[in-house]
Amino acid sequence: MLTFQFVPYSEIEALSSIKRINKLMKLVKENKIILLEGKLKSHEETELIAKTMEEIDGKFRGIELGVVHPESKDNMLLWHKIRQTLIDALLGDRKGFTIIGPASIIKEIKNDPEKIQLMIEEAASKK
């Protein structure tokens, strides 16, 4: 069975970077595909990938990660850009979402500004 788990930003915002990474790793190791509101900080993504590499073994093959975020328009008014930057600084970057899942299930994540494609491994047929 394929399980998606939505993790709202409010559930991870008070956690330290290490605790965020540990929470996400725990869910992925339970073979869940995580739909995370917002995105991790770049150093958290790097740390998540490093932790994943350390934990690869016969059962755990790693993770696939994809981030989808709305592109800001170049013609946006200066006031709107300043306002959005201030909101992001105060509330955290909640725009977009992140998909994280086990490499044993997710073959590939392709994304562009307009869509995301999640390719999964086909389950071995039971005879």
- What pLDDT does residue 74 have? 59
How would residue 69 be classed by pLDDT, with cut points 50, 70 and 90?
confident
Residue 106 in tokens: 């997710």
The pLDDT tens digits of the residues spanning 88-101 come to 777 666 678 899 99
- The pTM is what? 0.78
What is the distance between the alpha carbons of residues 42 and 75, in angstroms, rounded to a whole number?
Answer: 26
Q: Checking DSSP bridges between strand 97-102 and strand 115-120, what pairing results, if any? A: unpaired
Task: Please say if the pLDDT value at position 76 is more than 50.
Answer: yes
